[in-house]
Structure 1
Amino acid sequence: MTVRPLRDRRYVVETDGGTYVVALAAGTCTCPDHAIRGARCKHLRRVAIDVTEGELPAPDERVGICAVCGSETFVPVEQSGSQLCATHQPEVGTVVRDRETGQLVVVTEVTSVRADAYDTGEGRAVDEYATNADYGAHEPVVEAVYVDSLSPSRDLADAKRYGFPASRLREVDPEATADSPEGVAVDEEA
């Protein structure tokens, strides 16, 4: 069986016996088995399995392309703008590293606004800053706060937020220690 999503949130299932349309949300299929007997047919089951395993978008999702790596990802149907796959979308509250300064920042929001359209409030877009020249203007902007700007008297909500193209931020290596450069293994026996 070959299964493909349609734009109207249904799926086409092609088999040796024919081509059928499955509406997963409604639990219907155009095959004779379902149409005549009302049984949950193999086409409905196949679509449900493929959606559950992440092979197909759910009825309320569509296929998007990650602006960083170009891989396919599933996003809500109504979501517009630039998209990120699970690998490149940091979670809000995560501490990541700014590739340009090496400083740690806390992610406060992941937007779908492109770096060339994100208004910084200073009369220019995120992609117009020289430090962002090596990153994609098409990438969504991630808002973050520099960790160094936080203190007991100033919480995350009061700190100045900065916008970064998504690929400018990278995960912090959990194995790194204060005594070793990030990304370099620490020899415990030395």
Structure 2
Amino acid sequence: MTHPAHTPASLPATRSKTTLPAAGTTGRARRARVEAMAVRPLRDGRYAVETDGEGETYVVDLDATTCTCPDHEVRGARCKHLRRVALEVTARLVPPPGRRTAVCAVCGGRTFVPVATRGPSLCARHARRPGHRVVDRETGDRLLVVAATGARADRVETDEGRLVADYPSNADYGRHEPVFEAVYVDAVERDGPVRAYAFPASRLRSPRTADAESRPNPRADAGARTTPA
């Protein structure tokens, strides 16, 4: 279940200089780890690397495998700055090229999304894709996700003319959360009329966690119905 304070936003862009474990490395590979550096993603997909001992800031392009430092430009070496950026991307300390840091609208955790992404974001744990099987937290019903709207629950209107966030059964879920459309598995299996319903992201849980959480409330309202699937 989401916390209302977890609104979509980018995390701070600045970082303090840090070091990484030496991990038995030598030479440039070791310096890339043990020397204090701050890696900051730039809007164009490159990275600014601020060093401690040198007191300089260099620009690294991972895709082009280049760095503006003398070690790379003069000697053509795979310098410590290139290595450090690659290490931090691999460790998910900074986003890979073409992505930016965002906050998950459900748990408030850090996640990486495409730079052009707008609206609420979700981490891998809470993201749902068409075809995913989920469980409604309120009723315990099994559902199949058919669409990710990408829009907030307080901006998606159902075919009843109500916002998804305004349904009483959605009162405990964040109004800022993205909405997913899902169909009831039982309806699909009966081969009868199938309608899609709209749900805030955190109302849908993975079947793997269903048994670990409290028993559902059988009196809860169903999801907010949208246009028939």
* Shorter-chain TM-score tier: 0.7 to 0.9
Q: Name which of 111, 123, 128 aligns with 1:85.
A: 123
Aligned partners of 1:90 and 1:2: how far apart in 2?
A: 33
Q: Deviations over 1:51-77 (max 9, x none)?
A: 123221111101111000111100011
The range that moved more, 63-72 or 4-13, is: 4-13
Aligned partners of 2:73 and 2:212: how far apart in 1?
A: 58
Structure 1 gap ranges (5+): 177-181, 185-190
1:161 aligns with 2:196: yes
What code does the residue aligned with 2:212 have?
A: G
- 1:7 aligned counterpart, secondary structure: coil
Aligned partners of 1:82 and 1:94: how far apart in 2?
A: 19
More strand by share: 1
Aligned to 1:188: none
Aligned to 2:28: none
Percent sequence identity is 57
Q: Deviations over 1:109-151 (max 9, x none)?
A: 2332111112323322211211111110100111111112113
Aligned to 2:224: none
Aligned partners of 1:111 and 1:58: how far apart in 2?
A: 25
Aligned partners of 1:96 and 1:151: how far apart in 2?
A: 15
Q: Name which of 205, 208, 212 aligns with 1:183.
A: 212
What code does the residue aligned with 2:48 have?
A: V
Q: How many residues matched?
A: 175
Offset at 1:43?
A: 0.7
The Cα RMSD (Å) is: 2.0
- 2:161 aligned counterpart, secondary structure: coil
- 2:212 aligned counterpart, secondary structure: coil
Q: Name which of 156, 173, 176 aligns with 1:138.
A: 176
Aligned partners of 1:70 and 1:80: how far apart in 2?
A: 17
Offset at 1:25?
A: 2.2
Aligned to 2:89: 51
1:64 aligns with 2:112: no
Aligned to 1:28: 66
